[in-house]
């Protein structure tokens, strides 16, 4: 059985490469866990916030990178996910048509490691208005990792992060079974899934520790992960391990923006104005900081 260090190194070597320069604009979200709008759907509370935020990035010509666990395939059939989030997928299609959409698979959507499953779920959809089959993301591809590479070869390494979580990487099918048939029905009673590092603090710390050991062994390679749902934005003196958080926080979504050779941790959330109207706003949590200080 491969160690977490070996799994991360393999993902680094085989990572998809994208250009990174002063003109690059990337928005990174992960852990959307798009569901079927049922009681167990953690994404449904933030769906409108997420849609609005993505629409703003589309207008500003950002490239969207989804850092794993976009679709909650452990708990749901994709058909039900799509029907609950059709407007989201049609917005993703607009990024796709501009060649500004890239996916990484995580443990909850590890089915997308198999291109046949990607084609089955995402290539077309049935338009219920006219009853016709239409293109969605016909040649979408999922990678285990992505590297944003500068002209000098230095890079930002992006991966979901479950490579450092042996149970959810090696035994993901067992985890899926437990979630689908045991923990999902118990969610209605408030019982949390112990296989998830996001809901298990000790597991979360172990995952972060393994990732940081890899960073230390690999010349302080800058890394961006998701998986734990815990946002991270280190200072320049700390190990360059960033985490974009998730889109299933109770009242907001968090992500990382890369623009003007800088990185910023942001959140999108609802506020209530004095006149009683509600508004979706973007708030900076950390940064911006120069990426050159980390790589």
Q: CB–CB of 141/118 below 8 Å?
A: yes
List of domains in the chain: 4-293 (3.60.21.10)
Q: What does the mean pLDDT of the chain come to? A: 89
Q: What is the mean pLDDT of residues 153-174?
A: 77
Q: What is the mean pLDDT of residues 144-171?
A: 86
Q: Report how far residue 138's alpha carbon sits from residue 246's, in angstroms, rounded to the nearest whole number.
A: 26
Quick check: 10 pLDDT over 90? yes
Q: CB–CB of 221/212 below 8 Å?
A: no
Distances (CA, A) of 18 to 15, 154, 163: 10, 12, 21
Alpha-helix runs per DSSP H in 98-227: 115-122, 166-170, 172-178, 184-186, 201-217
Q: What is the mean pLDDT of residues 174-187?
A: 57
Q: Report how far residue 282's alpha carbon sits from residue 60's, in angstroms, rounded to the nearest whole number.
A: 14
pLDDT in tens, 87-129: 999 999 999 999 999 999 999 998 999 999 999 999 999 888 8
Long-range contacts of 82-85 (CB under 8 A, 24+ apart): 82/121, 82/125, 83/36, 84/34, 84/35, 84/36, 84/37, 84/41, 84/44, 85/34, 85/43, 85/47
Q: Report how far residue 253's alpha carbon sits from residue 262's, in angstroms, rounded to the nearest whole number.
A: 20
Residue 123's contacts (CB-CB under 8 Å, 6 or more residues apart) are 135, 136, 137, 138, 139, 140
Q: CB–CB of 150/261 below 8 Å?
A: no
pLDDT at 171: 46
Q: Report how far residue 5's alpha carbon sits from residue 213's, in angstroms, rounded to the nearest whole number.
A: 8
Question: Residue 161 gets which letter from DSSP?
Answer: S
Q: Report how far residue 66's alpha carbon sits from residue 54's, in angstroms, rounded to the nearest whole number.
A: 11
Residue 186's contacts (CB-CB under 8 Å, 6 or more residues apart) are none
116 phi and psi angles, rounded to 5 deg:
-65, -35
pLDDT in tens, 210-251: 999 999 999 999 999 999 999 999 999 999 999 999 999 999
């Amino acid at each position: 059985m491969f160690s977490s260090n070996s799994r991360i190194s393999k993902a680094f070597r085989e990572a998809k490469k994208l250009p990174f320069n002063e003109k690059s604009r990337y928005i990174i979200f992960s852990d959307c866990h798009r569901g079927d709008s049922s009681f167990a759907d953690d994404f449904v509370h933030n769906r409108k916030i997420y849609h609005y935020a993505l629409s703003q990035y589309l207008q500003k010509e950002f490239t969207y990178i989804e850092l794993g666990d976009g679709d909650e395939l452990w708990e749901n059939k994709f058909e039900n996910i799509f029907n609950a989030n059709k407007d989201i997928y049609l917005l993703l299609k607009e990024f796709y048509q501009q060649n500004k959409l890239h996916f990484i698979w995580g443990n909850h959507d590890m089915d997308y490691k198999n291109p046949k499953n990607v084609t089955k779920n995402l290539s077309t959809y049935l338009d219920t208005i006219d009853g016709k089959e239409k293109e969605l993301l016909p040649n979408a591809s999922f990678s285990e990792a992505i590297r944003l590479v500068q002209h000098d070869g230095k890079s930002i390494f992006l991966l979901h992060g479950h490579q450092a979580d042996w149970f959810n990487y090696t035994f993901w099918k067992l985890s899926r079974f437990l979630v689908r048939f045991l923990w999902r029905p118990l969610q209605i009673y408030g019982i949390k899934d112990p296989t998830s590092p996001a809901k298990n603090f000790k597991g979360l710390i172990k995952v972060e520790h393994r990732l940081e050991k890899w960073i230390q062994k690999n010349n302080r390679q800058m890394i961006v992960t998701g998986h734990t749902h815990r946002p991270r934005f280190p200072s320049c003196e700390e190990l360059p391990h960033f985490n974009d958080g998730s889109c299933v926080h109770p009242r907001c979504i968090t992500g990382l923006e890369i623009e003007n050779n800088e990185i910023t941790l942001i959140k999108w959330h609802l506020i209530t104005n004095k006149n009683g109207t509600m508004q979706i706003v973007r708030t900076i949590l950390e940064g911006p900081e120069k990426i050159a200080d980390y790589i």
